[in-house]
Amino acid sequence: MHCTICKLYENDRSTFVYENEHWLLRHSTETNLEGYLILESRRHCLDFAEASEAELASYGPTIGLAMKAIKNVVQPYRIYTFSLAESMPHLHVHLIPRGEDMPRAWIGRGIMAYPLTPAVSGAAMPQICARMKAELKKLSLIG
């Protein structure tokens, strides 16, 4: 099987900020939005219909933890979530922070048109990932 997301786990994990038995959480490298996380199932499956009972049971607490971390670290006005699995057929959910100053064209469904470039700069990526990891660790200890 050739799955781009499955291959990510084998290669560079520098953008991964959290993991548990069923889920991996990484910072997106595709945009300049700090705090844009992607929650991916560890096991290859297409969507929630193919997820196991254990994966489904752990999804809520895991995405809740991720959203709390985003709120605490980047303090967005909203956090958008969606899953399409069109270009990468592997269960993954985008968590996109929206600031109050985001242009109207990218609010709501318009977020799908947000430019993929420039990405978070190479120098900033380790810093935002470290902040997210620290917050997720803190929240995990509390929860």
CATH of residue 87's domain is 3.30.428.10
DSSP 3-state of 12? coil
**pLDDT for res 143:** 59
Q: Is the dihedral of CA 70, 76, 80, 86 positive or negative?
A: negative
Instruction: Give the pLDDT band of residue 94 (cuts 50, 70, 90).
Output: very high
Q: At what angle do helices 124-142 and 53-74 cross, to 10 degrees?
A: 120
Domain extent, residue 48, equals 4-142
**CA–CA dist 30, 91 (Å, integer):** 18
- Total structural domains in the chain? 1
Q: What is the DSSP string of 47-111?
A: SGGGS-HHHHHHHHHHHHHHHHHHHHHH--SEEEEE---SSS-S-EEEEEEE-TTS-GGGSGGGG
Residue 140 has pLDDT above 80, yes or no: yes
> pTM above the 0.75 mark?
yes
Q: 10, 89, 76: which is closest to 66 by C-alpha?
A: 76
* Residue range 31-81, pLDDT digits in tens: 889 999 999 999 999 999 999 999 999 999 999 999 999 999 999 999 999
Q: Is the dihedral of CA 41, 82, 62, 128 positive or negative?
A: positive
